Amino acid sequence: MNRIKELFKKKKKDILNVYFTAGYPKLDDTVRIATNLTHCGVDLIELGMPYSDPLADGFTIQQSSMKALKNGMSLDLLFDQVKEFRKSHETPIILMGYLNQVIQYGQEKFLDKCVQIGIDGLILPDLPMDIFQNEFKKDLEERDIAFSFLITPQTSDERILLADQLSTGFVYVVSQSSITGKTGDISTTQQAYFDHINKMNLSTPALIGFGIHDKSTYEVACSNSNGAIIGSAFIRALDGEKTINDKVKSFVHSIR
C-alpha cells in the first residue's frame, strides 16, 4: 500500500507534514534534513522541487529555491538524494513543484522515476483538474502515486467536492488567501472557513497549510483537520550556526 494512504489509515489526527526545499541550505543537506525529521517523528516529508518561478510560494520558499538552484540542485540529483534516504527510512515523501517541471523532464519518465526511488505523492498547485483527469489520473493510479489538490477560502463548494473526489493523498486546505510564509494567529474568518469545510464531510483526509508556523497554529490546524503542513517557518529555522541535527530537533520539538 502507498505509504501516505497507509499513514492515514493508521493515524487520523495530529499529523505533521514538514516541507523543505531540496538542496537548501546546502546541496547535500537534503538527506540529512529528511533523516533528522524522521528521527524526530515527523509523519510526512514534503520535498520542494526547486523552481525558478514558484507562483504559490512566498519570499522564504522562493529564496530557498533560488539558493538551491544556485547550489546546483536538479531533479536528477533530487531523485538520487531520495534514493539514498530510502535505503534506511520509510517516512512518506511527497514532491511539491510545478507542472512545467514534470513536462520538461517528461511525464512518463518523471513518474517512473518516482516509483523507482520511493516517492509516495505529488502536489502540483498549477495542474488544472481537467488536465489531471485526462492526462495524469490514470498514470498516477497505475503507479500508486497519491495526488493532493489545494483548496482555498475562495474555492467554490463544487470545486472543493471535486478536489475531494480527485485527491488520493489528502486535500491540502490552504488556510488563507495569500502565498506561503505569513505569520500570526488563526483569525475568526479562517476558523469560519475551517468550520465550513468540516461541515462538508469530505471523504479524503485533510491537512491545513499556509501560515502554520508554531505550536499554537499547529494545534488549531489539528483541531480542524487531520493535521498540519509547515514549510516557511521550518526553512527559516534552518538558517543559523547550529548543526542541522540541532536545528531540526529544536524546531520539531517546539511544535509538538
What is the pLDDT, as a whole number, of residue 9? 97
- Of 29, 43, 57, 164, the active-site residue reads 57
- Per the annotation, the verdict on 46 as an active-site residue is yes
Cα–Cα distance for residue pair 202/155, rounded to 1 Å? 14
- Mean pLDDT across 16-30: 98
Q: Mapping DSSP to helix (H, G, I), strand (E, B) and coil, where does residue 162 land? A: helix
What is the pLDDT, as a whole number, of residue 240? 83
What is the pLDDT, as a whole number, of residue 176? 81
- Of 43, 46, 120, 164, the active-site residue reads 46
Please state the separation of Cα 7 from the chain's center in Å: 15
- Per the annotation, the verdict on 14 as an active-site residue is no
What is the pLDDT, as a whole number, of residue 186? 83
Strands 93-96 and 121-123 come out as parallel
What is the pLDDT, as a whole number, of residue 52? 83
- Per-residue model confidence as pLDDT tens digits over 112-151: 999 999 999 999 999 999 999 999 999 999 999 999 999 9
What is the pLDDT, as a whole number, of residue 59? 81
- Of the chain, the percentage scoring pLDDT greater than 70 comes to 95
Of residues 148 and 184, more confidence is placed in 148
Identify the band that residue 178 occupies on the pLDDT scale cut at 50, 70 and 90: low
Cα–Cα distance for residue pair 45/37, rounded to 1 Å? 8
Quote the cell numbers at residue 173. Answer: 486546505
- Mean pLDDT across 174-190: 72
CA neighbours closer than 13 Å in the CB half-sphere of residue 165? 10
What is the pLDDT, as a whole number, of residue 1? 84
CA neighbours closer than 13 Å in the CB half-sphere of residue 249? 6
What is the pLDDT, as a whole number, of residue 241? 86
What is the pLDDT, as a whole number, of residue 53? 74
What is the pLDDT, as a whole number, of residue 236? 96
The domain ranges of the chain are 14-255
pLDDT at 72 over 50: yes
- Per-residue model confidence as pLDDT tens digits over 197-212: 999 999 999 999 999 9
Identify the band that residue 57 occupies on the pLDDT scale cut at 50, 70 and 90: low
Residue-averaged pLDDT of the chain: 94
What is the pLDDT, as a whole number, of residue 181? 45
At the fourth CATH level, the homologous superfamily of domain 14-255 is Aldolase class I (3.20.20.70)
Residues 79 and 105: beta-carbon distance below 8 Å: no
